[in-house]
Structure 1
Amino acid sequence: MPGYEAERDRLREHLGIEWIQNGLSKSGWTPSKSIRHSSDLNCDFSHPEKCQWKNMADEKQMDSRDFYLFEKIDYTEFPVLRVGPGPSKIQQGDKMIFVGDKKREEQHAIFYSSPINCQNSTGNLTFTYWVYNSARVEVILLEDDGRGGYKMIFDDPSEEKPYVDCGTIQLNTECHAEIPPREKPFRIGIRAYEISNTDGSFVMIDNILYSASLCKVGIDIGDNFKSNALETGATGKHVDTAAELKCDNFDSKCRWRSGGDAMVMWRRSSSILPSPLLLNATGTTVGPRGGYAVLYVEQGTQKKSLDILRSDPITCQSLTENEFTFRYWHWERFSFDNFEFSRFWEFGQIELEACAVDLMLKDVECVPIPRGSSPANVKLTFRKATKNFMIVIRVSSLNSDFDNMVIVDDISYRATLCTDALSVFDIGDSFVSTPMLSLLLSRNVHTAQDLSCDFSKRASACLWGMLNQDEESSDIASNTWTVGHGPLNDEKLYSLTGISEMPEGEFGLAKFETGGSSVLLSEVVRCALDNVHVQFKLWTTGTAKIKVCLVEESSPSLLDCQDASSGDVVVDLPRIRRPFRVAFSAEAEDQGMVLIDDIVVTGQICPPTAAKQFSSKTFRPTADIPDPNVCRLLSCDFHLGHACLYESSQVPHSAMHGVSQRKLNAFLTRSKRVFILESPQFRLNTVARLHFDYKLQGDANLFICNDSGTKELESCFKVEGREGNDYIELLASDTKVYIISRLSESGKSGSLEISKIVFTDISDQAIC
């Protein structure tokens, strides 16, 4: 209002309002984008830059004046008899628009809205207004004239005009207009007119409210379409297998979720999309099945307001090939010459991408999702992501002038995680197997509990073993059972077996590289009387499986077999009054493994008698030949990187040691002066020899002690050489062997190397 300083002073004095320069220079008005909701036209001028209204441009030649923004700056009340019918008391800080003049010629001004695409039913427009000196206000409807301008709908006699009640009789009243339904796009205008008093006249407007049922301006996805918040089973916990990222229903089993912290969220729907929509958009009626994820983006929405669809994290995956696949549909709604279309977007106005992001949502790598005929089946590969990452699907760019909708379904991910087993034998890098020390020696089974076995000390105390491989048999396989050692990788074993419980310590193992069978037998049981149960823990990988069978002592055939499934197994044995063995019969068509642990046998069996011993077809040692079981306990070639069943005794000033390249090495210093290698406990049936290869360096000495570790070193056998092979004779009464290295009294440092320990008879003949 430049040039109206005196008039502004009078307004400030009598009404307490002040002009805000350039107050209406910015607004939310749009020339072509239709409003989505009737409330989009609500405006109280507290933030005029958001109001979707503006003054009519001068070049349109439809009015002579403009509205200006004013603010209430004090508590002066409006004179109720001269300025009305709006309220006389206005809060300080309130804003309104004002137009006025002192010319005799009539002046008028139009303040008009963004376009309304169409209106289903009668709409209501209300606003607060004040007039002075016979000025008046009305509501008009405008439509494009096709030449870049507008025309009033009143000019067309066939058009229904709005009912307008903007009377000035009652105080504190609003202007109310009822706008009839319209199928064609239009705009609402507020027109101030009859401003023609030389003493000055004006119109003020505030609190514009519009309420109406608008025609659908979004994508027509059917009247029955419903969506809910995307609530899945994703909790942020890392996945154990890539298969857990499969999601085809977006329910509690799905490990995908909305990213959160966004205005426009991914949602879940199971509504069936209309066939015409699908046909028009994709050329087919193929749509998502069951539950699917949907992101509806309204026009005007900025990309930064959009949510992401993200997976639960992947802790680690190998650099082998991976494949991320899903199906998606997306549409855009636009207008052209008053016609509207929904179609599959092909020309880049909305684009998606799949990204691998770290746990802080920072990009590791992103792959643009290729555009193709919808429904596109997308296949992507990530080449950089290996540790602690998530997969996200997000909008990378869009044209916010139109509505867009994206649907994602049938997600799957194929990759080798670091916790996945690479083969049926891959149960951890620390997994090794060693020969089983127990043999079938016709030992007596006094109680059912005697058959219990946890495979510790390589099953040396177990009454289980295998038949000699040179014995002919039709059913009893000659493949070898061994003892497995860990620790195992619990995640890899779980991926192979589906069982979360791990074997504790050592366990029985039957391994098949190319198929076959292997049988583990118990010693002979005289008979089973009542309630005999065999319990054990079982894991199987690949094609391997196991049966629990009975074997007659006099026949090698497997009888009365019962299949066992992975987990905790309990097998009930029938009453049997003749000698028998219990057999674990493992077999595989191809590659596989059987792991068993914690065998527990309960119930009542017949004890052995002195009058009769049940025969066995296994090898039976005589008193002149040392027990092969002791041979397996004491022999060691260190080829698996550990000291077999030997252990390092921890005493004050114990030296460090290590096993590598089939050698045990102990390093002695002044502070670490002694090293003791202790054998497992054994029971000999006759005299035997224990040979060992050794090498001494520096000031180290070597002693070999048998029977008891409490003996003084002076009573042990001292090895006089510095390198070579030596042995010690073991008596039938001996139970342990100690290999001891110690620095001399004045020694500074030294080392011991042991490379092989071999058990023989007194003629140096190998026993095992």
Structure 2
Amino acid sequence: MIEKSFFIYLICIFALIKNSEQCAQQYQRELRYLDFYLGIAPTKDDGKLQINPRLKNQYIHSARDLNCNFDTECAWNNVDSDDLLDTSDFYLFEKKDGKSFPVQLRPGSPHPEKGTKFILAGNTTQNPQSAVLASSPIACQVSKGRLRFKYWLYNAAKVEVIILKLNPSHGHLQVRSRPKTDCTFLKASEHECIVEIDEMHEPFKIGIRAFQLHDSSVGSLALVTNIHYEAQVCRENEVPSLFGGIPLSSSEPSQKQIFTATDLNCLSKISSCLWSPVYPRGSDHAISLRSLWQSGSNQRLWNEFVPTSENTHPENEFIFQYIDPMSNLPIGQLQSALIPCTATSSSLQFKYWMSPNVQAQVCTVTQQNVSLSCVFLNEAASPGPVTIDIDRGDKNPFKFVIEVIKFDPARAGIFAIDEIQFTGRLCHEKAPETTPTPLGIGTLFELQPFPHITLTNGLPASLACNFENEDCSHWENDDDTFQSGFVPAKIPFKMPKLMKGNVAVALFTRPESFAILQSPVISCAENARISVFYFSSLGARISICADDKCLKEKTREKNFETDSTDTFGHAGELSVNVTTNTNFRLRIVAESVNEDDSNFAESFVLVKKITTEGHICRMKDDTELACEHLYCDFRNGTLCNYNSALTTPDDVPFQHDPNNGIQATLSTVGRRRVVLRSPEFKLNRPAELRFRLLLSTYGAVAYMCPDEFVDNLTEDCELLLGPKIDQSKFENLQVQLDPEISHFAIIAYHDKYQQFGKADVIISDISLVDSNGQALCNF
């Protein structure tokens, strides 16, 4: 049995570090007891840990960087005491002989080899009573991880694994989570401590904590060695994947200044906005370059970074900056294109969101980046919108700069921006003219929406249409931009008699607006001629398009008085000729335009009728088109319109098998999931998806999901096959598709490799049929 006096030396270890002579002799005597009973002794420098300085303040490059048997410098170090979680330190000891450990020190091997090195924490006092060994920073962990190590405990000592935020807050360690740690004194001999660590989407450290070291009678201690970490981690130059983020280009924009205020608007298509990031230069900012400005497209994990009771978030594509907690300010700005000169007051408006303890500011700066004025953005006023007013015109060029000026160094954060709008008039722009009084076209033509009619009997045989006596519902008017109208016999301007009566009307109240009538998909045409009979007012034009080829109304000659009702517009016939063997659509496009001759508050286009000549093949509805998009015989060596999506670290792609179709093999971590994503499609009636699927191994499962980003397969998806697989054979499967479905994903998953071995997943073909099993399209 180990004697009580054996542990008295631990009191002196801490005192000796403080240069107390009172304990020096006792310390040397107790080291001899350690040597006598355990055969261990502190290494050089009185057991000071050997730390790899390269890894102490930068992210590890791979999980192997944390592997440590303490023979060399390691990526683990004692944390500074916070008087709560950590009040002591670990010290490095080495086994000096072949002497066995006594039975009271367990559950590690009682026969460690000579030369084995351990870290030791323990004492016989009430304080200190715990010690934390922390890893070097880990940028993120994109798979489940596993930490294992050998350990020995004596008396009341215990050990646990904790997940730490990167930096202390107010001098205290910040625990992010406590993984389940079942590593006790009572485990079987030579038991290793093994702890599973969940995926981590932000930087963190792993802590090994020895505690309950405060037994004042006989003392307590913990020994640890042979640390091993397995996980897929982000490297230093990798940024965690958040919100479907795509880094914004920091190269110099092709358009360096705006020509009108709306050029600075950023409401969609973020990549084409005239806002770009500017990052600090130099090697000292290597980690800061992880704090990238990106465009986001989804809100997965949003609440982890922006916790709020109001549950607000961007609705569409947005701009955000990922803030790495190891970054140093400045971490990069979002800078607008140059505003050359403003003639009036102007304002910048946007919404914003930020993680807790993040502060930002928006400034106006000169062309040489000298700050003019700034407005601070804080969490309390989020999401806004916030409006930055510039009260008067500025004849000097300036830019807007948005940047984070403070963040929480203990955890990763984000700063997000959406719906950027800039209003004002630039110096070179003309002041707007007084808006004339509207003519009241809506009232004059008795405008009302076209009725929405479902074509229960399918599409008509002819593309032709006369709005005088037909609803022409086979011409799509999705946004209701064309309306039903009636042109009376008497109106305050001249119009051909042909246009009187029932018509389709596109009414515009501002320039640069448009309205579209679109035909169904037409399978082919030979020597076909499609004609539109129309009237367009001043300030409006009409075009007819076959796919991307358009024929526009001729430009009018400017030979009339602008206030003459005799020349209020133009009536005519616009025709396009089509010959093709492939699917195509026709579009009738009405648009409002700026023209010096138009001094009216409203403009409009009337469509009276649409006629056809020559041979026009039958029209196809949405369901038949969906059938063409979804049909695929994978044995022909192609994925057709499908995509083998890779969205998680566990995903593997499908490979072509010329005999069977497409095939994937699922096995260990990193190869447990395969996804087949469909193209986008529309249905106007129910249909059945049929396909042949093979799962080879018990435990494998296949699901039909709304997309590949589902969080829970069993709750969000429909089980197709598995997990009970008695025989490796193709199964004929069918799934009902309702009209509201626009895409799907077939996901196969296998996490039972250790029990049942690898699993093959094969899909041979996919087709779409009606309720009677008849194909909905021909090939």
Rg: which structure is higher?
A: 1
Question: TM-score scaled by structure 1?
Answer: 0.35
Give the structure-2-normalised TM-score: 0.34
User: Normalized per residue, which structure has more strand?
Assistant: 1
